[in-house]
A and B are shown apart, each in its own frame.
Chain A
Amino acid sequence: MVKKKGRMSRRNFLKTASLAALGLGFPAIVPASVFGQGKRPSPSNRIVMAGIGFGMMGLPNMESFLSKDEVQWVAVCDVDKKHLAKAKEIVDKKYGNKDCKTYTDFRELFLRKDIDAVSIAVPDHWHALLSISAARAGYDIYGEKPLTHDLAEGRALVRAIERYGRVWQTGSWQRSVENFHRAAELVRNGRIGKVIRIEVGLPEGHYDFAGTFGRDKIEPPPPELDYELWLGPAPYWPYCQSRVHMNWRWNMDFGGGQLLDWVGHHVDIAHWGMGWDRTGPVEIEARGEYPVGGVYNSPVRYWVEARYADGTPMIVAGGYPQIWDGTKWIGEKGWVWVNRGQFESEPTSLKNEVIGPEEIRLYKSRDHYQNFLDCVRSRKETITPAEVAHRSASVGHLAMISMTVGRKIKWDPANEKIIGDPEAERLLRRSYRKPWVLPE
């Protein structure tokens, strides 16, 4: 028997305990628990958090966590001092003090032993390296989608999370929204019969998030930005405004265009409804249209045809009006379509059907951030663990490879290998600029 004396602190418990990453199927139901209700937990019972990257999703993510009484935010980290100052200001304002520590280098932050969890919202090319480093440091992680920048990184990250027993939540928050849950549950319970085709509509083009389109002049990086660290493992590109904050997404060395930005949402939901959370397509063929001028090189319009082991095809398209934005499952007896704030079905009565007591119930979360915090305490899997995010991202990565080699590729989702196409196989992983190494 384990002796009761000399028990470890909650902090050490959180940093070491885990039921996550068991490699098992999802539980039929894990009701959302209600931690954080009532009075604010005592400091020793709070989950201590830090954030990395505040140029885009980092701020809203942090603000959501700050609204939870059980969270104590202690540090912020960003390679841009302007972002850093803004993030610190928000935290300090929340707590009415000046205690939030700032870091420009994540390696210094990761030396801290008092942190339970980190929220990471950085450009895609940094996802794997930062997250693996965070797992090695013993932190649980709320990360953004797509899980990683290529397939090899994705598997490496999933393994690191498993190895160190960390809790991982992906920012694929649609799973915690009622209409997506309901749509997926209806499909999963066969309400539209056998699914014969899935259509996933994503955005097209490039969006000027930062208002820097056209600022393509090569110039020295601004003093507040550690550009060398911003580039990190990506190939060297000289600094220009239009390629850094927010709009990095349109360059394939830093992001994956609209396709990779959105597969983690609508393809993720498509997989959920089909029970494909831990697998991927067996064939994929994609074609894309690339920008004519400018500094971006990700496809602006794309058409992806994936086929899964049971023969079901899935179309993922951006810029094709015949494919509705969102996720549509078409079955032998009708269809279900879901998008943000929208939910339609054929027959229409399907929408109001109740899931019976004997039917499959999908993992339920009412609050994506709370689900993460609950799992940090219970050590269970979140609603979007790393493996699930890796599988939805795999559709985007494979599509990009297919676009590059210009042909259909065959994929072995169990062993994660491209079959019979050495050229395509070369594209499963990318190189890292020195001195960075991916610990695989």
Chain B
Amino acid sequence: MRRITEKKTLIPGERRNGLEEDILTPAPNQKTDGRQHMNDHSYNIGLDFKPERRTNLGGSHPVCPDGRRKKESPNGDRPRFNQSFIGKGLACFIFILVSFILILPARSFSNVLSLQAAFADDDLARLEQVLRALEKFDHSQGEGPALELERIIFSLKDNPGKRVAAEKRLLQFFTSEVSRDARIALSKPLSWIAGHEAARVLASQLLEPEKSDPARYVLERIPGEEADNVLIEALDKAPAAVIPGIVSSLGHRRAKAAVPPLEKLLRRNLAPQVVYNAIEALGNIGGEGAIRVLSDYLKSGDESLRFRAVDALLRIADSEINNKNQGPAAAISDLLLKARLTPVQKLAAWKLKIMAAGENYDRELRLALKSGDEIAGQAAIGLIPRLIPQNKIAEYLGLFSGLPGSLEVQVAAALSYYPVTAARQFLVNLAEKSLWLEARTEALISLGKIGDDSLVEFLVRKSASSRGQEKNAARESLLALRGKSVDDKILEQLSSSPEPSIRNELLLAACERNIRESREYFLKEAANPSADLALVSRGLRAFGDIGLAEDLLKVAFLTEDEAFRDELAGIMAAWARQSARPEARSAYFRNLLGKETDPGRQAILITIIGKIGERNSLPVLRNQAKSQNLTIREAAIRALCDWPEVEARDDLLEIARTSLDLREKVLAIRGLVRLTASEKYRRPEAVVESLKEIYALCSRAEEKKLVLSVFPDFPCQPALEFCRVLVGDPEVGLEARTALEKISQRLNRQN
């Protein structure tokens, strides 16, 4: 993969003056290969450029004068042709400068005008040169000539004289024997400037299969009736192959005058593509005549014709409504609703019927809702938010009772655009009683969108009592309710000691809504043996701070759930780590530890201190690791094992070497492995030495395997050799082999 960054730098700002243009323009008689010429000249679209800032950053595939692709220039060096260009440019510049100095003072104003005319000639000369390059153009030559042509056309388009001359020349070129790619490339800039005179010139080109498309491209953009007339006249003369294109151009131009000729064409030409395109074009053009012609196709036995005609009529009706002409749109909807339609067309026709009623939509809306036709109902409900004002929706709610489930979903969604005062009761009923799960869910979602504090109780109850998507919708809606009063209501509900399932939903909402004042309820919940511990933890982490530590410690001291106790220790450690003074983060807990005599509580405090990981606490932990009390000692060793920095490594090494307690030894080894594996900044050989040392301390296969699993992270020769020796070991041979393979692979990659 590579990027093209090759480009010409075009500088914004002042328009390039004639002098600069002259410098950049090779002499008309300069004999150069077209592509090389293009590469010697920047081209931009409508923007000026300065040669001194022209850059070629490499990357693309510029073409050498001999036609071969240049190699990329990764360092962004200028291609050599730029240097020659600069040389020529400089000589030219000096020449013109001298000419100016010598001639200008002696010239009169009329002479200046002649000079400008000369520049105009230069523009046309450049055009001539590009056209010559384009004569046998094909796209494999690169887009340079085409882009250059576009640039020239737009550089002279604002000068009426030049523009006319250029248009004339382009038309001449277009009608001459040039390549197909050249004609297509030329059609684009010609379409930008062509006037109505060009339309007549292009008339004959329309009839030739190879020229017809590019001629149409130009004609489609020419303003005025002349282009319409040319296209219409061609309908009678053109060979069959090009008629579909001409028809589509008439549609593109929305040529009103084309309707009768298209009708005539449809009577005599039954080629499917012509008929299809004529129907589509009539849909774009619109108007009474088009409606009449298209209406005939509604009775067609050919489904594809009917399908297109319906779409065309729907489009015409849309345009009529946009133009505030409801009458024709209503007539179309009546026509369509009597025809054979696909379900989606019927929906569109019903929508149209209601929209076409304009201010009198109410009657049509009610008619659709009462029609017993589900598609009509869907169309009506879909339009309700667009048509019915907020203060009128109550009048329609009665019509929504007893709808099929599929429509209840839509109603629920539609009511989300109305005030809660109007829609609440209907939506609550739907959420409670609908037989359709999706309707219940949608009603809950809408309640969340429009609701207020009056819905807190309902949504909490719904969250607690429902399951699956309904439960999730109720929860999300509780989160979505807007207003501070909603937060207050949640707190009020929490204060009323609700039953556990409701309390959990309230606490969850408090978390999601970021209600900081709820923290006391989380603290209270922490002491509840049946609490949702994950939720409690989340709330305490989010809203608590070290000020709550005393209360939370009491909970931690009392709980018998080891995992929860560890989690609480983690929460308190997290609070402590928020302290602005790193050296004081553990102070509170160290002080308590100093006063505490109960080993269990001491162990908890040690765990917290370990999790905080403040450097000043390390001596305390070292001391406690030598305690005679097993609980305290184990807590201290675990704290050292979890220590965030490698400074605890020597302590762990010592324990691993000297402890007679296998449990402590194993803990220490695991801690050592973790700390050593984290030392990615050391030389692999040095880390491997440490790992070998740890391995030697292992008495059980489990720890040996653990150590071996770290070796591949430090690939080096000593690691390779160490593992190779162990491959034959019945205890760890498999792990050694795996490590060996990984180390080898990584070493190979490094090499």
Contacts and interface: CB of A to CB of B under 8 A. Distances in A.
Given A213-B4, A289-B9, A434 B248 contact: yes
A18 B378 contact: yes
B402 A1 contact: yes
Interface in A234-248: 235-238, 240, 243
B2 interface: yes
Given A292-B56, A431-B249, A437-B277, A13 B284 contact: no
Interface residues of A, number: 101
A31 B480 contact: yes
Contacts of B473: 31, 33-34
B167 interface: no
Given A1-B402, A37-B469, A204-B5, A238 B344 contact: no
A28 interface: yes
A380 B411 CA distance: 11
A406 B10 CA distance: 11
B45 A439 contact: no
A431 B477 CA distance: 48
B381 A19 contact: yes
Contacts of A296: 4, 60, 143
Contacts of A378: 409, 413, 438, 442, 445
A303 interface: yes
A216 B143 CA distance: 11
B564 interface: no
Contacts of B245: 433-435
A296 B249 CA distance: 27
A23 to B, nearest CB: 6
A95 interface: no
Contacts of B150: 404
Contacts of B374: 2, 7-8, 13, 16
Contacts of B381: 17, 19
B574 to A, nearest CB: 16
A371 to B, nearest CB: 13
A166 to B, nearest CB: 8
Given A295-B142, A423-B157, A377 B409 contact: yes
Nearest to B403: A2
A423 B187 CA distance: 15
Contacts of B144: 292-293
Nearest to A166: B344
Contacts of B370: 1-2
Contact of A433 (B213, B401, B472, B514): B213
A405 to B, nearest CB: 6
B134 to A, nearest CB: 14
A431 B44 contact: no
Contact of A2 (B213, B347, B377): B377
Interface stretch (B214-222, B287-295, B525-533, B662-670): B214-222
A293 B63 contact: yes
A431 B140 contact: no
Given A2-B407, A292-B56, A439-B311, A407 B46 contact: yes
Interface stretch (A74-82, A157-165, A307-315): A157-165
A303 B142 contact: no
Interface string A410-431: 0000000000001100110101
Interface of A is mostly: loop
Interface in B135-180: 138-140, 142-144, 146-147, 150, 154-155, 157, 180
A214 interface: yes
Interface stretch (A275-283, A328-336, A354-362, A384-392): A354-362
B7 A292 contact: yes
B192 A423 contact: yes
B619 interface: no
B373 to A, nearest CB: 8
Contacts of A236: 180, 184, 213
B39 A292 contact: yes
Contacts of A7: 374, 404-406
Interface string B719-741: 00000000000000000000000
Interface stretch (B117-125, B481-489, B494-502, B626-634): B481-489
A440 B220 CA distance: 15
Nearest to B62: A293
B3 interface: yes
A300 B406 contact: no
A370 B157 CA distance: 50
Contacts of B181: 237-238
A165 B375 CA distance: 12
Contacts of B382: 17-20, 22, 165, 379
B192 to A, nearest CB: 6
B417 interface: yes
Contacts of A235: 184, 187, 213-214, 217
B139 A238 contact: yes
A94 interface: no
Contacts of A435: 244-245, 248, 273, 276-277
A156 to B, nearest CB: 9
Contacts of B445: 30-31, 33, 378
A114 interface: no
Interface in B169-206: 180-181, 184, 187, 191-193
Contacts of B314: 163
B297 interface: no
B43 interface: yes
Candidate in A1, A12, A15, A166 with the most chain B CB atoms within 10 angstroms: A1
Nearest to A301: B7
Contact of A289 (B10, B372, B375, B482): B10
Nearest to A380: B413
A20 B386 CA distance: 11
A256 B212 CA distance: 26
A356 B245 CA distance: 58
Given A1-B370, A24-B385, A213-B61, A35 B3 contact: no
A218 B47 contact: no
Contacts of A434: 212-213, 216, 242, 244-245, 248
Contacts of B476: 31-33
Contacts of A104: none
A205 B2 CA distance: 10
Interface in A11-56: 12-13, 15-20, 22-24, 27-35, 37-38
B343 A15 contact: yes
Contact of B404 (A4, A31, A34, A437): A4
B252 A16 contact: no
Candidate in B348, B379, B486 with the most chain A CB atoms within 10 angstroms: B348
Given A24-B417, A293-B63, A378-B409, 20 more contacts: A1-B372, A15-B343, A16-B346, A23-B386, A28-B480, A136-B307, A164-B344, A207-B4, A235-B184, A291-B7, A293-B142, A294-B61, A295-B143, A296-B143, A300-B4, A300-B60, A380-B413, A431-B213, A433-B213, A440-B283
23 contacts: A2-B402, A27-B416, A30-B445, A159-B315, A209-B1, A218-B138, A236-B184, A290-B43, A293-B35, A293-B60, A295-B143, A303-B12, A319-B7, A379-B409, A405-B154, A406-B154, A407-B46, A432-B252, A433-B245, A434-B216, A434-B242, A435-B244, A439-B284
Interface of B: 1-10, 12, 35, 38-39, 42-47, 56, 59-63, 69-70, 138-140, 142-144, 146-147, 150, 154-155, 157, 180-181, 184, 187, 191-193, 212-214, 216-217, 220-221, 223, 242, 244-245, 247-249, 251-252, 273, 276-277, 280-281, 283-284, 307, 311-312, 314-315, 318, 342-348, 351, 369-375, 377-379, 381-383, 385-386, 399, 401-407, 409-410, 413-414, 416-417, 438, 441-442, 445, 448-449, 468-469, 472-473, 476-477, 479-484, 486-487, 513-514
Interface of A: 1-4, 7-8, 10, 12-13, 15-20, 22-24, 27-35, 37-38, 136-138, 159, 163-166, 204-209, 211, 213-214, 216-218, 235-238, 240, 243, 250-251, 287-297, 300-301, 303, 319, 354, 356-358, 361, 377-380, 403-407, 422-423, 426-427, 429, 431-440
